[in-house]
Amino acid sequence: MSPVIAEFIGTMILILLGNGVVANVVLNKTKGNNSGWIVITTGWALAVYAGVVIAGPYSGAHLNPAVTIGLAIGGKFAWSQVFPFIVAQLLGAMAGALLVWLMYYNHFTATSDSRSKAASFYTYPEIKNSFTNSLSEFLGTFVLILCVFYITNGELGSEKTPIGLGSVGAIPIAFIVWSIGLSLGGVTGYAINPARDFGPRIIYNLLPFKDKNKADWKYFWVPVVGPLLGAIAAAGLYLVLN
């Protein structure tokens, strides 16, 4: 499998399982309805695990433009591959979101609350504040990318052996994402991944929903810019320390 295809499939699985657990918790008449934040954060951690296991042997399983850009800044990934990886990640996220909608179609229909429907696609804060919302995304992604550098010794997606060649390699990344969700995710819903938020937001905007809001395009830059800045800062700190 080519690295670009691996990024597409890995990200699709990430969003299918990650946004899928959100849909299971927030939509009406699901088996997991109202099961809470612990279920959501655990589901997302396991979604990351699944995506990394699938894509890891072929691409290093970035599954996130912030990871790709952070590694490129750190000199561990070719800049010529950054754009193809990001496109594959965005398209994979869109495909995963579409699959969530198809699977939970009856439950979307049975749910009148527009915010619950939207939450199954993209992130939004309960308290809107551009600074604190951006800071949350910045810090969450900073922790993720810094940990990625140290867990992989900066070799993720390089010519050297990438993390993710087996199920063991995916475990630490899943635990880091779980920790970020539990500790830092309450402010914005912790996108910490521009493709994870932007791709499903586009799909939500295109789908024929009843009781639909406008995808909150005034906010969408926060889960894009915040993670990218966090990745840049983490890569910079890694270079200084190493």
Residues 15-65 have pLDDT tens digits of 999 999 999 999 999 999 999 999 999 999 999 999 999 998 888 899 999
Specify whether the CB–CB gap between 43 and 18 falls below 8 A: yes
H or E, element range at 83:
helix 82-103
161: pLDDT strictly greater than 60: no
Tell me what pLDDT residue 25 has: 98
Higher pLDDT, 77 or 169: 77
Confidence of residue 239 (pLDDT cuts 50, 70, 90): very high
- At residue 167 the predicted structure's pLDDT band, cuts being 50, 70 and 90, is low
For residues 90-112, average pLDDT: 96
Which residues are CB-contacts of 157 (< 8 A; sequence separation ≥ 6)?
Answer: 3, 59, 60, 61, 62, 68, 71, 76, 77
Q: Which one, of 196, 165, 189, 174, lies nearest residue 86 by Cα?
A: 196
Distance CA 193, CA 118 (A): 17
Assign 151 a pLDDT band (cuts: 50, 70, 90): confident
pLDDT at 152: 75
Fold (CATH) for 3-241: Glycerol uptake facilitator protein (1.20.1080)
Read off the pLDDT of residues 215-226 as tens digits, 9 standing for 90 and up: 789 999 999 999
Enter the pTM of the model: 0.93
- At 168, the pLDDT band (50, 70, 90 cuts) reads low
Average pLDDT on 129-148 reads 96
CB within 8 Å of 39: residues ≥ 6 apart: 21, 24, 25, 32
Dist. CA 80–CA 203, nearest whole Å: 28
CA–CA gap between residue 171 and residue 106 (Å, rounded): 34
Question: What region, left, alpha or beta, does residue 153 occupy, with left being phi > 0 and alpha being psi -120 to 50 degrees?
Answer: left
Distances, alpha carbon 88 to alpha carbons 4, 68, 227, in Å:
6, 12, 18
**Tell me: the pLDDT tens digits for 187-228?**
999 999 999 999 999 999 999 877 777 778 999 999 999 999
Q: What is the mean pLDDT of the chain?
A: 91
